[in-house]
Structure 1
Amino acid sequence: MIEIVATGPLNTVQDLGRPGYRNIGVTASGAMDPLALRIGNVLLGNAPGAAGIEVQTFPFQVRFSEGGAFAITGADCRATLDGVPLPPWWTAGAAPGQMLELFPPLKDARAYLCLAGGVAVAPVMGSRSTSLRGGFGGLQGRVLATGDHVATDRAADGFLPKGGFGVVPPAVALKDAFPVAEGGALLIRALPAGEHDLFGADAQRFWSQLWKISARSDRTGYRLSGDPIHPTEVMEMRSHGVVPGVIQVPPAGEPIVQMSDANTAGGYPKIAGVIEADLWRLGQARIGSLLRFVPATHAEARAAEQALAAYIADVHKTARLVRQALAGMA
């Protein structure tokens, strides 16, 4: 169990989400950077769907009421344990009473704190993710507050080397599989969507210009600022299902990218959809960041998925070998 000593708004319990209920208007929620959460759980030997804490406002400070292992992934938040610096993408053990502190990251937006066994909150519709809009899931359907006590489920037996161990961050390990930032802009791959061609010449401007993530953005969607784009004629559309990654264009002409708390339906025309393998990178983009969308093919999207799967498999192998070696020495 841990005690929340210091926190800010918007820090919540999240897992990989609750798919399967969009037909009744329930958003999936889940981690904005699902890859970081997955890796944190792999490092600890947790179940793949174990819940962790998504931290997007800092500083964030917790005290370990009981000893246990933890992992820090996602944004490099310059974490310290009782004042001793910890590397990013790292797992270590804490003794009862020790204090873990996460500081504002120099880049990227969100860090993930995973605990051995996973955060123990009651699942709602098969998920422990917090839905702030619905007011359910996570810890009483709300953000974490100072003084909260967060329990964990029973952890699997495991071994940690003294000082812990970590992995190469995906931004480094997968640098050849993802577009490199260009002119300070994050390059995000997307596929043309249903109404793409109805934007005429403005469709090309969608791909060629830089978009800025507006301060009006949140877990539901990123609102983008730039030169507005419009379809060639006024369109009246019935509401239709949407999912994370769908890029809609409201009448004002500035796109909205649906994110983890994506609406379940909407009637704005869709110009493109971010490939699933790039959603974790988009989830780490900060307010004010510049984006440019890069047209992708289905083959390129599949290749990116395979690169991610290979990285996750390699982390599984590394964690397993570390534990086997330590078990042999015990």
Structure 2
Amino acid sequence: MIEILSTGAVNSVQDLGRTGYLDAGVGRSGMMDAPALEIANLLVGNDEGAAGIEVALFPFRLRFETDTVFAVAGADCPAKLDDRQVPDWWVMNAKAGEVLTLGLPRAGARAVIAFQGGIDVPLVLGSRSTDLKSVFGGFEGRGLHRGDRLALGGTSRRMSRMEGGYGADVSVLRAPAAAEDEAIVLRVLPSAEYAVFTGEARSKFHETDWLITNDANRMGYRLSGPELTLTRKLELLSHGIMPGTVQVPPNGQPIIQLAEANTCGGYPKIANVIEADLWKLAQSPVGARLRFELTDRDTAVAALRQQRTFMAALAADAALMRGWN
């Protein structure tokens, strides 16, 4: 069991998401930075999809009520277990009564915390994720509040080796953080209406740095930049969309759909961010700049294959490192 001591309303219980229900109008939800959750789960010995906590508002504090093992991943934020520093991408033993504190990120936007056994909340449509938009799943269908107590699944075992913990080298998977004066590069595939945008609009889309506006949340990010125009007026029926879809409404300013994206929409689609780069959006704060780089299907598939290869190797290494008593 853990108790939430301080939090923000958008911090929530998430797993890898709710799949198979888009045709019924039920979105995916799930951790915005899915690879970070997978890595944190593998470090603590869980299945990669066990539910953890997504932290997007800081500072965040929780108290462990039982001995357990936890890992912190995602954003580069100062973390402490009582008075001990917790490095990024690191797993540690925690004793009952100890307090974990996460401070404002130095880079990135969302931290991920995984716990041995995962967060034990009911499965809803096959997932423990919170759908904040539709108010179901997770912990009472809402973000976390001070005083909430969350049960952990499984048994409480301590790592018998590496009492100070150990970490994951994520340099193979993650690009270095962009400098303040640099845009975050996202690889995209052309979407259904790409060719209907003017040549000038397509050039602007790829050559412009786009600003993430204050209108940014788990549903999507609205961007600010030059107006993107069509060669002709389109009258589209609502059609299926998913995380990563870049739509362009009549004002010509793109919207990137994210974890709690609507399941359908009628705005023209200019591109789709490849799945392997969605984590970059999760770690892009309001005010960051984005740059879209056109790629192809083979590259998108290879990037996902690289992620899966990394996860398989990490699972094997973590099992050797931790040991149990």
Q: Same fold (TM over 0.5)?
A: yes
1:287 aligns with 2:286: yes
Structure 1 residue 157 displacement after superposition: 5.6
1:226-305 → structure 2 map (5 Å cutoff): 226-305=225-304
Cα distance in 2 between the residues matched to 1:2 and 1:138: 15
Match of 1:189 among 173, 176, 187: 187
Question: Amino acid of the residue matched to residue 9 of structure 1?
Answer: A
Cα distance in 2 between the residues matched to 1:296 and 1:244: 17
Any conservation in 1 of the 2:68–2:157 contact (CA below 8 Å)? no
SS of the equivalent of 1:108 reads strand
Any conservation in 1 of the 2:107–2:177 contact (CA below 8 Å)? no
Question: Amino acid of the residue matched to residue 60 of structure 1?
Answer: F
Cα distance in 2 between the residues matched to 1:42 and 1:247: 31
Higher strand share: 2
Question: Amino acid of the residue matched to residue 310 of structure 2?
Answer: Y
Cα distance in 1 between the residues matched to 2:18 and 2:81: 32
Q: Tell me which residue corresponds to 2:51.
A: 51
- State the TM-score, normalized to the length of structure 1: 0.94
Cα distance in 2 between the residues matched to 1:297 and 1:179: 23
Q: Percent identity?
A: 45
Any conservation in 2 of the 1:179–1:188 contact (CA below 8 Å)? no
Cα distance in 2 between the residues matched to 1:219 and 1:57: 13
Structure 2: 5+ residue stretches without partners: none
Cα distance in 1 between the residues matched to 2:130 and 2:269: 27
1:1-330 → structure 2 map (5 Å cutoff): 1-155=1-155, 159-160=159-160, 161-168=162-169, 170=170, 172-174=171-173, 181=178, 183-201=181-199, 202-323=201-322, 326=323
Structure 1 residue 174 displacement after superposition: 3.1
- State the TM-score, normalized to the length of structure 2: 0.96
Any conservation in 1 of the 2:67–2:156 contact (CA below 8 Å)? no
Any conservation in 2 of the 1:179–1:187 contact (CA below 8 Å)? no
SS of the equivalent of 2:216 reads coil
The 1:9/1:18 distance shift into structure 2, 3 A limit, reads same
Any conservation in 1 of the 2:69–2:158 contact (CA below 8 Å)? no
What is the CA deviation profile of residues 107-150 of structure 1, one whole-angstrom value per residue up to 9, with x for unaligned ones?
Answer: 10000111110000001000000001111001000010000001
Task: State which drifts further: 258-267 or 279-288.
Answer: 279-288
Cα distance in 1 between the residues matched to 2:284 and 2:103: 17
What is the CA deviation profile of residues 44-94 of structure 1, one whole-angstrom value per residue up to 9, with x for unaligned ones?
Answer: 111222100000000000011111111101012111011211110001011
Any conservation in 2 of the 1:117–1:153 contact (CA below 8 Å)? yes
Cα distance in 2 between the residues matched to 1:321 and 1:48: 17
Any conservation in 2 of the 1:15–1:30 contact (CA below 8 Å)? yes
Cα distance in 2 between the residues matched to 1:155 and 1:219: 32
Task: State which drifts further: 267-276 or 151-160.
Answer: 151-160
Cα distance in 2 between the residues matched to 1:268 and 1:156: 49
Cα distance in 2 between the residues matched to 1:49 and 1:16: 5
List structure 1 segments (4+ residues) > 4 angstroms apart after TM superposition. 178-183
Cα distance in 2 between the residues matched to 1:179 and 1:287: 19
Structure 1 residue 224 displacement after superposition: 0.6
Structure 1 residue 303 displacement after superposition: 1.6
Any conservation in 1 of the 2:61–2:101 contact (CA below 8 Å)? yes
Instruction: Give the CA RMSD over aligned residues.
Output: 1.6
Cα distance in 2 between the residues matched to 1:205 and 1:76: 32
Question: Amino acid of the residue matched to residue 278 of structure 2?
Answer: L
